[in-house]
Amino acid sequence: MAYVIHLARPTCTPYSEEMVKRVPAIKTRLSPDVIVASAVALADTEGLEAVTIRRLAQEHEVTPMAMYWHFSDKEALLDGIAEYLIGAVRLPEPTDQPWDVQLRAILEAFLVAIRPHPSIAGLALKRILVCEPGLVLAERALGLLRAAGLSPDKSADVGTFLLCAVISLVANEPGPKRRVAGEEREEMIRHKMAGFAALPPSRYPNVLAAGKSLAVCADEDDYFAVNLDLLVAGVRGIRPA
Amino acid sequence: MAYVIHLARPTCTPYSEEMVKRVPAIKTRLSPDVIVASAVALADTEGLEAVTIRRLAQEHEVTPMAMYWHFSDKEALLDGIAEYLIGAVRLPEPTDQPWDVQLRAILEAFLVAIRPHPSIAGLALKRILVCEPGLVLAERALGLLRAAGLSPDKSADVGTFLLCAVISLVANEPGPKRRVAGEEREEMIRHKMAGFAALPPSRYPNVLAAGKSLAVCADEDDYFAVNLDLLVAGVRGIRPA
DNA sequence: ACCTGAACACCGTTCAAGT
DNA sequence: ACCTGAACACCGTTCAAGT
């Protein structure tokens, strides 16, 4: 039980401000889940490049090689992160509403789940079809596409793309990464706007008119809403007559 | 001129088979353009992870640090690769056809340009608005969206997403990466299909029906065509009445 | 102008070993 | 079952120096 007490002792090594936010006050026992959780937090605050076997080990006060007990390699860790992300999707129950309303709801549920984690959203792409919640998501989407009148093959093509599009919607929203803030963010935006201002107005009238909306994203919610609408309307538009 | 002769001598160090394809028989003078060209070729054959300052230096029989004369850092090299890609877009001339026909033509021109380079397509995302051919592309797209009746702000949101969607269309086409071929590719497909076959048919009828199209991408051309159609139809669908 | 050499702080990963 | 220690082959990058 001295062992248990040791595990539960408050960490008292000096932490930088950011680390305080991330690393738990209580040293928890290492496990795939807690590693994934800290990896997600790390990616959110410092980007996917910061998610490193060695860095995670350090945050858990453990040797890098300890990670290899819980994950066979880094790829497996990324799989774990993606599964966490996909598992966070809260699908609405099927209803008797028309297929387009339900499809929109499903895409939005997916978007809402991954939106807090733009830097790891891309990891979900190749991993949807290899975990249970992803398969459920795909099944629902495919069902609605069939209901819309698409053939099985077209449903597969379109369904793949729709999920892929939602991911790239959150992974690549315009403007500087959301996690850079304050003066630095302002500076990046100013720089981008200055680049636009130097353009010949006669050749780029529409780029200049869009100006600010291109450099920052005028309104994030609008950006997501209009493009989700676009995707659903697109399916509506390609149905066989 | 001994210098010139030295530059022109055929390389006679032993090459592996792949290197023969990639590295020019004549050792050319180092320049940003030839470095970018070999980086693109390297990414196409071995993926973006293989594009490394040290690896490129090695292929040009030069010290890694020599690269830093031509590019301030790796980011600048990636910028160069992206510019090359965007510069390869061959936009059709404006016509008096309706906006949707022209928009579809523009998106297709973009797709055709990047389709041969799926592993670096993603680099283009953040760099379209910082090089001349990218600005021209954006200007044309925005103009057509305005012609479709969208407000400047919505045009910006939608235009950003459309280009982003085309990129993710080629960067993430379903199935194993195109550059793995032959027996290895077959094996990966078999493995994925086996995963599907193990699913309970009652819970995943549509995934199973789509089966092969999800695991391989039944027809690449179809995949691109239907989803380009979807994007254009989507714009049509969200126009103000 | 263009490139080299040595060095630094990082990676992921293997293998043998400890408890 | 879970972790350590030493080692290897890689990264990007800086800085001083060569021609």
Q: DSSP letters along B67-130, please?
A: HHHH-SSHHHHHHHHHHHHHHT--PPPP-SS-HHHHHHHHHHHHHHHHTT-TTTGGGGGGGGGG
pLDDT of residue A120 exceeding 90: yes
pLDDT of residue A133 exceeding 50: yes
Choose one of A62, A85, A108: the last residue of a domain: A85
What share of chain B in percent tops pLDDT 90? 74
B159-213: per-residue pLDDT in tens? 999 999 999 999 998 888 888 888 888 888 899 999 999 999 999 999 999 988 8
Please check whether residue B202 lies inside any domain of the structure.
yes
Please check whether residue B141 lies inside any domain of the structure.
no
First to last CA, chain B: 72
Please check whether residue A136 lies inside any domain of the structure.
no
**CA B82 → C1' D15, Å?**
30
User: Under a CB-based contact definition with an 8 Å cutoff, are residues A106 and A94 in contact?
Assistant: no
| Strand C interface, B 44-103, C-beta < 7 A | 57, 62-63, 65-66, 69-70
A233 and B233 in contact by Cβ < 8 A?
yes
pLDDT of residue B96 exceeding 90: yes
Looking at residue A27, its pLDDT comes to: 65
Looking at residue A68, its pLDDT comes to: 98
**CA A73 → C1' D7, Å?**
18
Please check whether residue B137 lies inside any domain of the structure.
no
- Chains A & B: contacts with CB separation below 8 Å: 177
Looking at residue B39, its pLDDT comes to: 98
Greater model confidence, A30 or A9: A30
> Once rounded to an integer, what is the mean pLDDT over residues A158-175?
95
Please check whether residue A196 lies inside any domain of the structure.
yes
Which residues from B are below 8 Å from A219, CB to CB? 153
Which residues from B are below 8 Å from A205, CB to CB? 139, 143
Lookup result for tokens 């990670």: A67
d(CA A141, CA B217): 17
Which of B143-157, B183-197, B212-226 is modeled with the greatest confidence? B143-157
Greater model confidence, B2 or A142: A142
d(CA B94, CA B97): 8
Domain that holds residue B196: 182-215
Please check whether residue A81 lies inside any domain of the structure.
yes
Q: Would residue B210 be called left, alpha or beta, if left means φ above 0 and alpha means ψ between -120 and 50 degrees?
A: alpha
pLDDT of residue A235 exceeding 60: yes
> Once rounded to an integer, what is the mean pLDDT over residues A61-82?
98
Looking at residue B8, its pLDDT comes to: 32
Looking at residue B11, its pLDDT comes to: 35
Total number of domains in chain A: 2
> Once rounded to an integer, what is the mean pLDDT over residues B5-34?
52
Distance (Å) from the C-alpha of residue B11 to the closest C-alpha of chain A? 37
pLDDT of residue A12 exceeding 70: no
User: Cβ of residue A49 near strand C, that is under 7 Å?
Assistant: no
User: Closest-CA residue in chain B for A170?
Assistant: B161
**CA A64 → C1' D4, Å?**
10
A155 and B206 in contact by Cβ < 8 A?
yes
Please check whether residue B94 lies inside any domain of the structure.
no
User: Cβ of residue B7 near strand D, that is under 7 Å?
Assistant: no
pTM of the model: 0.90
Q: What is the domain-level CATH number for residue A81?
A: 1.10.10.60
